[in-house]
Each structure stands twice: as C-alpha cells, then as structure tokens.
Amino acid sequence: MTQSKEIVVEQTGSAIGRPERQRRTLLGLGLTRIGRRRTLQDTPAVRGMIAKVAHLVKIVGEK
C-alpha cells in the first residue's frame, strides 16, 4: 500500500479586493478566512493552486 503525502496550508492574506480567479482558488483549497489551515493531498494540481495564490497562503508542514 502506498502512502500519499499531505501538505498543510494556512491562509495568511485576505481575499477581499482580489480577482475572482484568486478567490475561487482559495475556495478550491478550502480556505475561507485568514488563519484557517487545511491538510491537502500533495499533488501537482494542489501545488499549482498554491502557486497561484502564493502571496495569500503559506505551507506550514508536510506529512
């Protein structure tokens, strides 16, 4: 059985005044307010989403 890696992401910036595309990306990551953390599967798609809003989120840990 293969073990999938996980990544913990925290929202550090507000979505207020940001383009709609960035707001939808944050929602896709499950982030709705500053300080909220989500544990997500470490896939290329998730990494791409994080890269699009890198100025609004930070990676706090990897499992």
* Domain 6-62: homologous superfamily in CATH: Ribosomal protein L30/L7 (3.30.1390.20)
How distant, in Å, are the alpha carbons of 2, 3, 29, 34, 44 from that of 52?
A: 29, 27, 11, 17, 12
Is 6:62 a contact under the CB 8 Å cutoff?
Answer: yes
pLDDT digits (tens, 9 = 90+) for 12-59: 999 999 999 999 999 999 999 999 999 999 999 999 999 999 999 999
User: What integer pLDDT is reported at residue 63 of this predicted model?
Assistant: 84
> Taking the domains of the chain in order of start, what are their residue ranges?
6-62
Token pair for 19: 């383009």
Name the residue with tokens 């909220």: 36
For the packed helices 20-28 and 44-52, what is the interaxial angle rounded to 10 degrees?
140
